[in-house]
Chain A
Amino acid sequence: MTAASTAASTAAPTVVSVAASTAVLTAAPVSISAATAGGIVAALREKFPQDADKITPRASADHPAINIPATAAVAILTHLRDAHGYDMLADLTAIDWAEGASPRFTVVWHLLSVASAPDASASGTSASDAHAKPGSYLRVAAGCANDAEPEMPSVAAIWPGANWHERETYDMFGITFTGHPDPRRILMWDGYPHHPLRKEFPLAGVEGELPDPEVAAETKTKLIAAPMAGGPFVASSGGLNIGENEPRAKDESWNENAEKPKAEGLKG
C-alpha cells in the first residue's frame, strides 16, 4: 500500500485516461433529465389545462426542472406529491435576481422521491408509471408576481416541514407566504428590520440595535457593520481597465473608499 500511494504521488497528471474518469461522477446526462422534465411538463399541462402555457421546462445542469405559475403552486405541488411520488420536500428557498429584474424573486422547491411506487395492482397502473424512482429530484420554480412585496402561497399544509423553510425564506428575503400558520422570523430575531439575503443588503450589515435593550444599555454596544477592508478578495475578469480588475472585496460597503452602510438607504 505504501508503494502504491508513493507511485501515485509522483505520477504525472497525464496518466489518467478520460474513459476511466467519466465513470465516476454521477451527474445525470442532460438529455435524460430534459426528457424527464418534458414528461412531467406534458403530464402537468394535461392535468392543469388552464395554466398549460405557464408550465415550462426550466434550464438545469442536473435534475429535471420546471417552471410553474405561483397561483397554481399549491395545486401542482400537491399533485406532484400524490400522483408522481415526490413525497419529500427536500428544500425550499428563493433567489433574488436583484433590483430591476422581473420577476425579481423566484421561489424554488426541490422535491425528492423517497418511497418506491406502490404496487400496480393496489393503485392504477397509470399512477405507478408516473411515479418517480426513489432518489430522483425535481426542481420546481415559480416567480413572485409582485417585485416590491413578493408573495407566494404556502405549502406548509402539504409538507409540515415547509413551515420552517418558509419562515427562513421570509426572514432572509421578505417573501410573504400566504396561508402560513406562523409567519415570523426564524434566524434573525423578531424586530430585526432587514432581509439580509436581498441583493441590496450589504454583507457587512448595517448599524442597528442589539436585540436586548438592557444589555445594550449596560454594554453600550450596538450592531455595527463588519469591516470588509481585509477581504476575501475576488477579481472580476474581462474588464478593460486593469485597475478595476484587481482583486477586492465584493462587498465594499465599508473600506477606505466607502462610508459605512446606512440603514436608511435600504428598502429591505
Chain B
Amino acid sequence: MTTEFTFQDNAAKNASAGHLAAGALAAGHLPDDAPIFDTEKMSISMGPSHPSTHGVLRLQLELDGDNVTHCEPVIGYLHRGDEKIAENMTYNQFVPYTDRLDYLAPLANNVAYAIAVEQLAGLKVPPRCAAIRVLVAELARISSHLLGFGSFAMDTGAWTPFLYQFTEREKLYTLFEELAGARFTTSYTRIGGVARDLPEGWLQRVGGFCDQFLPRLEEMLAMLTRNKIFQDRTVGIAVISKEDALAYGLTGPNLRGSGIGFDLRKDKPYSGYEQYEFDVPVGSTGDCYDRYLCRGEEIRQSVRIVRQVIKTMPDGPWYAADTEEARRIFAPRKDKVLTKMEELINNFMIVTTGPQIPPGEAYFEAENPKGALGFYIVSKGGGVPWRMKIRSPSFCTLSILPKICKGAMMSDLVSILGSLDFVMGECDR
C-alpha cells in the first residue's frame, strides 16, 4: 500500500511540476529520465556491533540509494585508557597490556614495546634474543594475516577460508602456548630479553609447522585469488593512491598495496632483520584486491624468514649481558637471586620500583602485521614512564575511510573494511 501512495504522490507531483504531460502519465509511458520516486538521503549507523566491522567500529553513513555519500567513522568504543594506565605502572608491568593492543598478533606487540624501552635505555640484547624476537614476530604476522584473510573472505561471502585458517591458527596457538604458556596473550618479552628460552625441540616443531603450512596456505589462497565472486567484489574497489596513503599515514600492507614499497624491516631494520632475506610485496593499483594479494605474499615471506631464523638460530643467552647498567633495568637470574644477598636485593628493587630507565625520549616503530606500531616514551627517570604514546596503525588506517568510502556502494563497505584489516583494540587503545 505504501508504495502505491508514494507512486501516486510522486506522479501527481511530477505532473504538477510540469515534468510530464498528463497524457503520457495516463498512458503509463514515462520518459527514461523521469524522477518517479523522490529519493531521500538515508542515514544509517553501521555498528558498533556489526559482524563486518571487526570489533566495535561504527560508521555513520549517509546513503543515496545504494551509494555512500558520506561516511564518518566513530571510534572509541574500545578506548580502555592504555596510555593513562602506562603512566601508572612500571615498564615491565605494562607488557601484558601490549598483548591486548593488536590482539591478533600479541607477540609482535611485545617485541615492539620491548625494543622501544631498550632503545630509550640504550640496552643491547644478545643475538639469540634478537633472533627469537624476529621468529615470534613473524609467527605472529602469519597468525594475524591468516585471520585477516579469513575475515576478509567471510565479509565477501565465503565461509570456508575462515574455518580453514582457524585450523592453521590453532596449530600456531599450540606453539605459542608451549612457548609462553598462553594461547595468545603471551607477554613473552621483557625489557632486556625474553621471558624464557625456547622450549626444547620447539624450533623443530615450528619447522614442521612451516612444512605442512605452505601447501595449506596455497590451498587457502587459491580459494580466493582467482575466485570470480571475490574478484568482482574487490578489484578496483576503494583505490588508495600513493599520495593519499602517505598523507593519511597508512603503513604496512595498506601502504604497500598502494605501490609504496616501504617496510621498516628493510628500510630501518631492527632486531637483526637485515640478516634475513625476504621480499617486500608491492601492489600496483592500491585497490582491495592488491591489499589482499600483499598480505598473502607476506605470509609466504614470513615463512621464509622463519625458516632462515630456525636455520641460523644463534646459541647463547636470551637476555642482555649482566653489566652494571643492565642491573638497573632487569632482574638477575633466579639461581643467583636465591643464593646471593646482593642479587636478592637487586631483584627486590627491580620488581618493586621497576627498571630504572634514564630520562629522555625515544620513539620506536616496528613493522607489525597491521602496519607500523610505534611507542613514544618520555621518561623522567625511574621505573614509570612519564608519558607513553602508542602510535597505532589501525587508527591511521581508519582515518582514510571518509575519503575512500565516499561514492562507494554500500555493499562494498564490507570489502573495504575487510581489506584494510584493522583491530579496534589497537585503534582505540
Q: Which residues of A contact B (CB under 8 A)?
A: 1-2, 4-9, 11, 13-16, 18, 20-27, 59-63, 65, 87-91, 93, 95-96, 108, 110, 112, 114-115, 134-137, 139, 159-161, 163-165, 168, 172, 185-189, 196-197, 201, 203, 232-237, 247, 249-251
Chain B residues, Cβ within 8 Å of A251: 88
Determine, out of B32-40, B117-125, B298-306, the stretch whose residues face the partner at the interface. Answer: B117-125
Are B249 and A13 in touch, CB under 8 angstroms?
no
For B118, the chain A residues whose CB sits under 8 A away are 25, 27
> Do A1 and B204 touch across chains, with their CB atoms under 8 A apart?
yes
Q: How far is the CA of A22 from the CA of B362 in the complex (A)?
A: 19
| Any A CB within 8 A of the CB of B389 | yes
Q: A25-B270, A26-B271, A203-B87 are in contact. List 15 more A-B contacts (CB 8 A).
A: A14-B322, A16-B126, A20-B127, A25-B115, A26-B270, A61-B119, A88-B249, A90-B249, A90-B372, A110-B363, A114-B255, A188-B76, A232-B90, A234-B88, A234-B383
With a cutoff of 8 Å between Cβ atoms, the chain A residues found around residue B365 in the complex are 90, 112, 137
Complex CA–CA separation, A112 to B5 (angstroms):
59
B399 touches A161 (CB 8 A): yes
Known A16-B126, A25-B119; contact A4-B313, beta-carbon cutoff 8 A: yes
- Measured CB to CB, the closest approach of chain B to A111, in angstroms, equals 11
Report how many A-B pairs have Cβ atoms within 8 Å.
Answer: 222
Our pick among B249, B362, B364 for the contact of A161 (Cβ within 8 Å) is: B249
Q: B315 and A188: CB pair below 8 A? A: no
Please tell me which one of the listed residues A8, A90, A137, A139 contacts residue B128 in the complex, with CB atoms under 8 A apart: A8
Stretch at the interface among B151-159, B259-267, B278-286: B259-267
- What is the CB-to-nearest-CB distance from A79 to chain B, in angstroms, rounded to a whole number? 17
Which single residue of chain B is at the shortest CB-CB distance from A65?
A: B361
Against A, the Cβ 8 Å flags (1 = close, 0 = not) of B15-40 are 00000000000000000000000000
Closest 8 CB pairs of A and B: A135-B267, A135-B268, A235-B352, A161-B249, A187-B76, A161-B248, A61-B360, A93-B389
Q: Does B406 contact A (CB under 8 A)?
A: no
Interface assignment of B44: CB less than 8 Å from any CB of chain A: no
**How far apart sit A108 and B378, CA to CA, in the bound complex (Å)?**
11
Is the pair A110, B387 in contact by a Cβ cutoff of 8 Å? no
A134–B264 Cα distance when bound, in Å, is 9
| Of the residues A9, A95, A165, A236, contact of B386 by C-beta under 8 Å | A95
- Choose one: B76, B352, B378, B400; the contact of A95 (CB below 8 Å): B378
